[in-house]
C-alpha cells in the first residue's frame, strides 16, 4: 500500500513539474490588440486608406508587412491562434 501511495504521489508531482513556468496566456483577438498591432505595422498608405481593422484583408497585410505571407506555419486568420502567433512574432522583433 505504501508503494502505491508513493507511485501516485510521484506521478502527481511529476505532472506538476512539467507545466511551463511563467508562460503568458495566449494573446486573445480583441480591439485593443488589433489597435496595438496597427500602430506598429504598415497596413495603410499613410493617407488614411487601407483595409478595415481586424478583417481578413487587414490580417493579410499584417502578414505581408511581417514577411509572413504564404508561410505555412501561420495559423488560419480566423483563429485565435493567429493573434497569438502574430503577437509572439512581433515580440521577437521587439515591435511590441
Q: Please give the average pLDDT of every successive group of 10 residues along the chain, which has 96 residues.
A: 49 48 88 96 85 97 96 97 98 95
Give residue 48's pLDDT.
79
pTM: 0.74
**Of 67, 45, 69, 47, nearest in space to 56 by CA:** 69
Give residue 16's pLDDT.
46
Q: Where are the domains of the chain?
A: 27-96
Give residue 14's pLDDT.
47
CA dihedral 29, 31, 33, 34 (to 10 degrees): 90
Give residue 17's pLDDT.
46
Amino acid at each position: 500500500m505504501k508503494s502505491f501511495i508513493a507511485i501516485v504521489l510521484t506521478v502527481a508531482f511529476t505532472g506538476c513539474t512539467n507545466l511551463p513556468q511563467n508562460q503568458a496566456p495566449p494573446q486573445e483577438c480583441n480591439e485593443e490588440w488589433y489597435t496595438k498591432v496597427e500602430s506598429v505595422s504598415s497596413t495603410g498608405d499613410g493617407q488614411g486608406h487601407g483595409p478595415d481593422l481586424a478583417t481578413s484583408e487587414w490580417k493579410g497585410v499584417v502578414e505581408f508587412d511581417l514577411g509572413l505571407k504564404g508561410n505555412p506555419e501561420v495559423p488560419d486568420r480566423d483563429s485565435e491562434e493567429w493573434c497569438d502567433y502574430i503577437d509572439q512574432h512581433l515580440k521577437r522583433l521587439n515591435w511590441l
